[in-house]
Amino acid sequence: MAPWGELFAGVRGVLLDISGVLYDSGAGGGTAIAGSVEAVARLKRSQLKIRFCTNESQKSRAELVGQLRRLGFDISEGEVTAPAPAACQILKERGLRPHLLIHDGVRSEFDQIDTSNPNCVVIADAGESFSYQNMNSAFQVLMELESPVLISLGKGRYYKETSGLMLDVGPYMKALEYACGIQAEVVGKPSPEFFKSALQAIGVEAHQAQ
């Protein structure tokens, strides 16, 4: 393996994924992936700027950071770029009032958002809330709109927990796209705008980051 200095020659910042890279989620708070706590600590000791990027949409940033800190990671809420806060900014800028098909764990991120008389749908990894009734309610909201807007927090197919692979938001997003004949706006990875916002937060250009 190349020396540390060679690996990061010309690099000023590092974007780190969380789920499946730093830890595997699951019962009891999940488990840190071998060597990840030490790797983050070493990066923190370097001159590099660090930003954590996640599509986590079952937990608020505060809950996620608390969980990671309990696993030994040196991380703060202000260092995390996540889709729910980014989606809230979009909703405010565009005057959108969402019907929320999301997990209860992330609902607090939307506390300041007007959800009356919805004119869009926000979908996230809702877990057990992905029932037929809830999916159909989201479908009905979209079909009643003249210009339906569907915002999806990520579009992953599945992710890994300690108990095995789990369906992510992507398959449910695709179902609504197909049923309504629309295309969702993705907030989160792999959206270029999501990574741009993470780079802007640490003041680093794309060519200066890994």
- What is the CB neighbour count within 10 angstroms for residue 204? 19
The answer to whether residue 4 scores a pLDDT higher than 60 is no
Give the pTM: 0.83
The answer to whether residue 28 scores a pLDDT higher than 90 is no
Residue-wise pLDDT for 147-202, tens only, equals 999 999 999 999 888 889 999 999 999 999 999 999 999 999 888 999 999 999 99
Domains of the chain (ranges; CATH) run: 12-82+191-208 (3.40.50.1000), 83-187 (3.40.50.1000)
The answer to whether residue 24 scores a pLDDT higher than 90 is no
Residue-wise pLDDT for 52-78, tens only, equals 999 999 999 999 999 999 999 999 999
Q: How far is CA 102 from CA 33, 56, 74, 121, 161, in A?
A: 27, 11, 28, 10, 19
More confident residue, 8 or 131: 131
What mean pLDDT do residues 26-55 have?
Answer: 92
Nearest C-alpha neighbor of 167 from the set 124, 132, 135: 124
The answer to whether residue 6 scores a pLDDT higher than 70 is no
Please tell me the distance from the alpha carbon of residue 61 to that of residue 127, in angstroms, as a whole number: 17
Residue 7: which pLDDT band, with cuts at 50, 70 and 90? low
Residues 6+ apart with CB under 8 A from 139: 176, 179, 180
